Amino acid sequence: MVDPTLLDQALGELVRLRAMTGRRARFRAGSYASALQEWAARLCVDPLKLNKLVLIKEAISRHHLR
């Protein structure tokens, strides 16, 4: 079972990384991929599933900002 507090922390960090803008798109993508792998290992979950959760959290956050 995944620790919900740790999952929330991971999702928050990963959503922030995805939202970063700037000229360093390649650096940002590499940074996100690295963080995703680290969090997936720490949470003992599949990185693809964690990425899907990040996308869902990101969409919900954008929807609430409207």
Give tens-digit pLDDT for 9-66. 999 999 998 887 555 677 777 889 999 999 999 999 999 999 999 999 999 988 776 6
- Which residues, including other chains, have CB under 8 Å from residue 31's CB and lie 6 or more apart? 17
- Tell me the residue range of the domain where 31 lies: 4-65
Residue 63: predicted pLDDT: 78
Chain mean pLDDT for the chain:
89
Angle at 11 between CA 9 and CA 15, to 5 degrees: 120
Per the structure, how many domains does the chain have? 1
- Which residues, including other chains, have CB under 8 Å from residue 39's CB and lie 6 or more apart? 10, 13, 14, 50
Residue 61: predicted pLDDT: 84
Whole-prediction pTM:
0.83
